[in-house]
A and B are shown apart, each in its own frame.
Chain A
Amino acid sequence: MEEPKIRVAIVNYGMGNIRSVYNAFKYLKAEVNVVDDPLKLNLEKEKIVIPGVGAFEDGIKNIQPFISKIMEAISLGKPILGICIGLQMFFEESEESTKAKGLGLIKGRVVKIRTNLKLPHIGWNKLKIVKDGCPLFKEVKDGYVYFVHSYHALPAEEDVIVATTEYGCEVTAAVWKNNVYGVQFHPEKSGRTGLKILKNFLEL
């Protein structure tokens, strides 16, 4: 008999294309549930992924209907992964918008990257793992991953940062607090390194 598939729910809240994230988890043989109604989230069985491309304020506005379910999942200790804007929304606030308040799951704020280099930071850049022991980065050393962003998170507690990358300054690439994981880059577009990170998430 085949092993039961690991189940993952992708929150589809109208922030860009989720197809590549879907394809990546399918490729990794997960059972993928694309959820546009919070009532369809199965907290018992599914790990939650919050992808997203776009502006912080739109993201916060669109994620509202899902917030109570997300909070419940976190209190139940379920692993949750934020990608790009998904990561940024975990923080308290963002320079990108003074109006929208973040989810506040991790203390700190999202700021524009202070660099002399061109923004957005787009392209392949090298990961630097700055904190050992994060299961998301198991067997991921200093691989290259694909970034598309102008803002990054500055956590209040520095030990939340798991990985950084260099772009004229140190850029936050990944954060981790308890069961909350966030990656600023796009693992679904980051070749083998990205797939390994998503596989690690499935195995949490």
Chain B
Amino acid sequence: MVCKRIIPCLDCDLAVPEGRVVKGIEFKQIRYAGVPWELAKKYYEDGADEIVFLDITASHERRETMVHIIEKTAENVFVPLTVGGGIRTVEDAKKVFNAGADKVSINTAAIQNPNLVNQIAKYFGSQACVVAIDAKRRYVKSPDEAKDKIVVKTPEGYCWFECSIYGGRKFTGVDAIKWAMEVEERGAGEILLTSMDRDGTVEGYDLVLTDEVSRRVNIPVIASGGCGNLEHIYEVFTKTQAMAALAASIFHYGTYSIREVKEYLVERGVKVRLE
């Protein structure tokens, strides 16, 4: 069996000359965390199984900056590299692959043009096509209240999950669980599933969301949003079928090293790569 993966996520602000890694709280407030390729190298050396770069500025003008960051990173980082943010066409994807990325992550453009998922999967292979889903709970009094949505029971009440785009700035009315199943059909190789309710809160992953999606698709789900301690990562691996856990702030602010996370998991019987 393949290992569960620990993935540090580097949100990149490309509005400064060489880009910088930042950490937002609930998709908003921004704090500075470091130089992208230096952080990536540090995490790689510490045992990260993969590195994710998300361009949070996501603007075409900054595309060259992202290419530069990927190139610099790929010189020293020898684990898979995933790049997302602002990829709208196969041509955009090609640029980041040529720079050294192994996978691209698409979100907004996929919702606006679902065929992009098919195109990227066909052109570069499913293994290179990650669809990112930013989901927010929409509470209802009863399942009848949202008949066309998949309503699930949570400790906080009934809800369905709504996809957002543009980094959480716009809501779409799209059911996140249904969308996850659709992108699998279209050829996505992986789903990067972020809970917008939990992102930046350090209260733990949304286990209900992660469980509901990971049970319904056969492709790996990367749990994201809310990781604040080691227990959260253990929990998401044992209570849901997530294959990977993504975290940012616990690594950026040195709360835990990746090695510490892995040692903790190995002690508790979770299969991870530890060398």
Residues on A facing B (Cβ under 8 Å):
17, 19-20, 23-24, 26-27, 53-54, 117-118, 120-126, 143-144, 146-148, 166-168, 188-195
Contacts and interface: CB of A to CB of B under 8 A. Distances in A.
A191 B243 CA distance: 19
A11 to B, nearest CB: 18
Given A122-B2, A124-B5, A20 B76 contact: no
B1 interface: yes
Contact of A117 (B1, B5, B79): B1
Given A122-B189, A123-B2, A23 B75 contact: yes
B152 to A, nearest CB: 24
B115 interface: no
Interface residues of B, number: 28
B149 interface: no
Contacts of A193: 275
B75 A17 contact: no
B49 A124 contact: yes
A192 to B, nearest CB: 6
Given A54-B125, A125-B1, A144-B275, 7 more contacts: A24-B78, A27-B75, A122-B127, A122-B189, A126-B3, A146-B80, A190-B79
Given A17-B97, A122-B189, A148-B127, A190 B3 contact: no
B98 A19 contact: yes
A194 B98 contact: no
B78 A125 contact: no
Contacts of B99: 19
Interface string B1-17: 11101000000000000
Given A117-B1, A191-B78, A19 B275 contact: no
B102 A124 contact: no
A191 B78 CA distance: 5
Contacts of B49: 124
A23 to B, nearest CB: 5
Nearest to A192: B275
Contact of B3 (A54, A144, A195): A144
B273 interface: yes
B154 interface: no
A120 to B, nearest CB: 6
16 contacts: A17-B98, A19-B98, A19-B99, A27-B78, A122-B2, A122-B127, A122-B189, A123-B3, A123-B5, A126-B3, A144-B273, A147-B2, A167-B1, A189-B80, A191-B47, A192-B78
A16 to B, nearest CB: 8
A191 B100 contact: no
A40 to B, nearest CB: 21
A146 B79 contact: yes
B97 A23 contact: no
Contacts of A190: 78-79
A189 B1 contact: no
Contacts of B47: 191
A144 B274 CA distance: 8
A14 to B, nearest CB: 14
Contact of A20 (B100, B127, B243): B100
Given A20-B100, A53-B125, A189 B79 contact: yes
Contacts of A122: 2, 127, 189, 220
Given A24-B78, A146-B79, A189 B127 contact: no
A26 B78 contact: no
A117 B49 CA distance: 21
B3 A124 contact: yes
Contacts of B180: none
B218 interface: yes
B5 A20 contact: no
Contacts of B251: none
B78 A167 contact: no
Contacts of A27: 75-76, 78
A118 B241 CA distance: 14
Interface string B35-55: 000000000100101000000
List the 8 shortest-distance A-B pairs measured between CB atoms, nearest first.
A123-B2, A144-B273, A124-B3, A124-B273, A148-B127, A125-B2, A19-B100, A23-B74
Given A118-B218, A167-B1, A191-B44, A123 B100 contact: no
B173 to A, nearest CB: 31
